[in-house]
């Protein structure tokens, strides 16, 4: 184990981080290039707010947790500056993408740009103690909560009333935010958020019969026998269980950690491709075909 | 060639069509089941309007072109009845999907349900000469034209003004509709539609330098060096060239037919997977990665 941790640390610090430091900074327009080929050449200049937010978070977090290197902090500030200037619409919602100069391309049609922005600015506040960043993280988080009953707003294609479902992505991301935003939110809010997230993930979206986490359930938490209701995303489950383990450590709950490990292993077994190895992207709980064409792909984030 | 045509005809009439006749009819709620496994068991009961419309079209067209079998016409009427009752919202736009009983699940967020509905009812009018069906096909077609400058309405996620593109799918589907709806539309409208479609496909979306058809171009027809602008869908191109060949026959334009064959062969060569064979789903004109995760899949419709 120790051995692996050395290999990964060395690869991260000697190879991955210097690559992004050197190649992804847009010195002309601000922000980061994120569409890079293996040599670091930019093959597209669009700026996706998920990735801008995650890169701010990454460099701020390296600074916070590993070493207070000025170049890491500067790189985080470089992206945050661009995001602050161009990233939001008039209501403070984060766009999905901008062009190279920062002009909006795709509307804020869901809340995930906001989630990654909140995490980035939260980590940057921790690094700088500049209240401006806490304020952006906080107001973004409040916006997420405001939108949580219809995260897609008027972009939502679901006809209301026929089959109202709730999606796992919201409690999942809130469980992550509840740890990441601890420095900027009130303690009572964090405590409530942690409690609610654990309940939603481990009781509501957990499917007793299969021991798996479902991607969508009826509003009362029951199983919906539909394409959406039968959908299982093993990588999502494993990621959520890692958040649950973090929360277990945070609130000192050994039983939660143990249960999370069990569910993660179960998801890994269910999602494993016995023929070609790796973890499937999407599966149907009952073994039917999924609507997702990409169901059998081996996405990098699912495997990591 | 003759030999293949015999094999396909036999397979279609002795195997495929009887399978759908027997297995896809929902006798309780009307309409068709379209999520069938290889044995014909229903694994999901949702009713997608694309597929309802296409099945009405298929049985009506078999009746029109091949043989006036009553069971084919009855099957087309069975689906049309369900579509007519439940398929549209108050403005006459066709929903994307309904549940088994016909209650709306997904809103009319684009015009493709409408396209396939128009084709189905157009073919059914040809089969029955019932003006009711011509009326549905016609009003649906008018709705498509009304929505053509913003086919997705308020579901459109593109921020207006930064990078306004037009999409190949509209002229492509209009070129198909211009032939399919000939029985129900005015001759002058059809002639104009044919002229416009050929111009859009063969001049505007055709990319001189590569000899390929682009999926998206700037409003003035020029190339957009972006993920959307570089996108090539070889299967789309081949399908569009088949529509162009049909139009070439219809208006007696040998040069159009020859050019369509050349472009189709070029798309086939560009899209061919030299390692594992088959046609890729999406490619980037400049060889960069695409945003579509499913880019390297070998979809059935692309191959056929």
Question: SS3 string of B57-119?
Answer: HHHHHHHHHCCCCHHHHHHHHHHHHHHHHHCECCCCCECCEECCCCCEEECCCCCHHHHHHHH
Residues 6+ apart with CB under 8 A from A62: A17, A69, A72
Please compute the mean of the pLDDT values over residues A239-252 and round it to a whole number: 95
pLDDT above 70 coverage of chain B, percent:
97
Asked whether the predicted pLDDT for residue B301 surpasses 70, the reply is no
| CA–CA min distance A64, chain B (Å) | 33
Asked whether the predicted pLDDT for residue A40 surpasses 70, the reply is yes
- Whole-number pLDDT of residue B89: 96
Contacts with B226 from chain A: Cβ below 8 Å: 44, 46
H/E stretch holding B265 reads helix B254-271
Closest chain B residue to A35 measured between Cα atoms?
B289
| CA–CA min distance A270, chain B (Å) | 20
**Contact at CB, B106 and A43, closer than 8 angstroms:** no
Test the A interface: residue of B94, B104, B159 with most A CBs within 10 Å: B159
Render pLDDT for B181-199 as a digit per residue (tens, 0 to 9): 999 999 999 999 999 999 9
DSSP label at residue B272: B
**Contact at CB, B106 and A226, closer than 8 angstroms:** no
Residue environment code for A242-257, b if the CB has 16+ CB neighbours within 10 A, otherwise e: ebbbbbbeeeebeebb
Render pLDDT for A87-124 as a digit per residue (tens, 0 to 9): 999 999 999 999 999 999 999 998 999 999 999 999 99
**Contact at CB, B35 and A288, closer than 8 angstroms:** yes
B263: nearest Cα among B222, B234, B285: B234
DSSP label at residue A80: H
Render pLDDT for B199-244 as a digit per residue (tens, 0 to 9): 999 999 999 999 999 999 999 999 999 999 999 999 999 999 999 9
Please compute the mean of the pLDDT values over residues B161-172 and round it to a whole number: 93
As a whole number of angstroms, the distance between CA A180 and CA A144 comes to 15
ipTM over cut 0.85: no
**Contact at CB, B107 and A43, closer than 8 angstroms:** no
Helix and strand counts by DSSP (H, E) for chain A: 11, 11
Test the B interface: residue of A37, A38, A44 with most B CBs within 10 Å: A44
The angle at the Cα of A214, spanning A48 to A154, to the nearest 5 degrees, equals: 45
**Contact at CB, B162 and A105, closer than 8 angstroms:** yes
**Contact at CB, A159 and B44, closer than 8 angstroms:** no
Q: What is the DSSP string of B152-198?
A: TGGG--BPTTTS-EEETHHHHHHHHHHHHTTTTS-HHHHHHHHHHHH
Test the B interface: residue of A38, A101, A154, A162 with most B CBs within 10 Å: A162
> Two tokens at A196?
């609610």
- Whole-number pLDDT of residue A302: 67
- Whole-number pLDDT of residue B299: 67
A42 touching B (Cβ < 8 Å):
no
Q: B176 pairs with which residues across the strands?
A: none
**Contact at CB, A106 and B159, closer than 8 angstroms:** yes
Please compute the mean of the pLDDT values over residues A163-182 and round it to a whole number: 92
Which strands make up the sheet holding B104-106, listed edge to edge?
A: B47-48, B97-98, B104-106
Contacts with A155 from chain B: Cβ below 8 Å: 154-155, 157
As a whole number of angstroms, the distance between CA A181 and CA A134 comes to 9
Average pLDDT, chain B: 93
A29: nearest Cα among A106, A99, A76: A99
> Two tokens at B111?
């015009």
pTM here is: 0.88
Where does residue A167 fall: left (phi above 0), alpha (psi -120 to 50 degrees), or beta otherwise? Answer: beta
Please compute the mean of the pLDDT values over residues A45-62 and round it to a whole number: 97
| CA–CA min distance A38, chain B (Å) | 11
Chain B, window 18-37: residues with a beta carbon less than 8 angstroms from a chain A beta carbon = 35, 37
Residue located via tokens 């070609």: A276
Asked whether the predicted pLDDT for residue A2 surpasses 80, the reply is no
**Contact at CB, A294 and B293, closer than 8 angstroms:** yes
CB B78 within 8 A of CB B108: no
Chain A, window 142-201: residues with a beta carbon less than 8 angstroms from a chain B beta carbon = 154-155, 157-159, 162-163
SS3 content of chain A, % helix, strand, coil (to 5): 55, 10, 35
Q: Which of A279-288, B29-38, B80-89 has the lowest mean pLDDT?
A: A279-288
Q: Which of B35, B44, B157 sits opposite A109 (nearest CB)?
A: B157
H/E stretch holding A104 reads strand A104-106
Asked whether the predicted pLDDT for residue B303 surpasses 90, the reply is no
């Amino acid at each position: 184990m120790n051995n692996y941790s050395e290999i990964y640390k060395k690869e991260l610090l000697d190879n991955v981080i210097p690559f992004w430091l050197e190649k992804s900074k847009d010195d002309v327009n601000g922000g980061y290039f994120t569409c890079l080929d293996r040599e670091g050449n930019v093959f597209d200049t669009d700026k996706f707010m998920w990735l801008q937010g995650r890169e701010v978070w990454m460099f701020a977090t390296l600074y916070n947790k590993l070493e207070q290197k000025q170049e890491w902090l500067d790189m985080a500030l470089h992206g945050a500056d661009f995001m602050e200037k161009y990233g939001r619409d008039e209501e403070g919602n984060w766009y999905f993408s901008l062009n190279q100069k920062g002009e909006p391309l795709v509307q804020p049609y869901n809340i995930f740009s906001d989630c990654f922005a909140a995490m980035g600015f939260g980590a940057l506040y921790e690094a700088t103690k500049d209240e401006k960043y806490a304020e952006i993280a906080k107001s973004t988080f409040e916006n997420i909560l405001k939108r949580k009953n219809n995260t897609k707003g008027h972009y939502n294609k679901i006809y209301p009333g026929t089959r109202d479902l709730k999606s796992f992505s919201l409690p999942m991301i809130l469980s992550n935010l509840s740890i990441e935003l601890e420095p900027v939110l009130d303690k009572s809010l964090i405590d409530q958020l942690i409690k609610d997230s654990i309940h939603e993930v481990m009781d509501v979206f957990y499917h007793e019969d299969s021991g798996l986490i479902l991607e969508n359930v009826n509003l009362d938490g029951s199983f919906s026998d539909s394409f959406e209701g039968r959908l299982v995303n093993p990588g999502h489950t494993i990621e959520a269980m890692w958040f649950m383990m973090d929360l277990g450590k945070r609130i000192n709950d050994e039983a939660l950690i143990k249960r999370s490990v069990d569910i993660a292993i179960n998801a890994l077994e269910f999602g494993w491709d016995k023929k070609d190895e790796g973890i499937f992207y999407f599966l149907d709980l009952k073994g039917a075909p999924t609507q997702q064409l990409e169901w059998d792909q081996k996405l990098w984030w699912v495997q990591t």
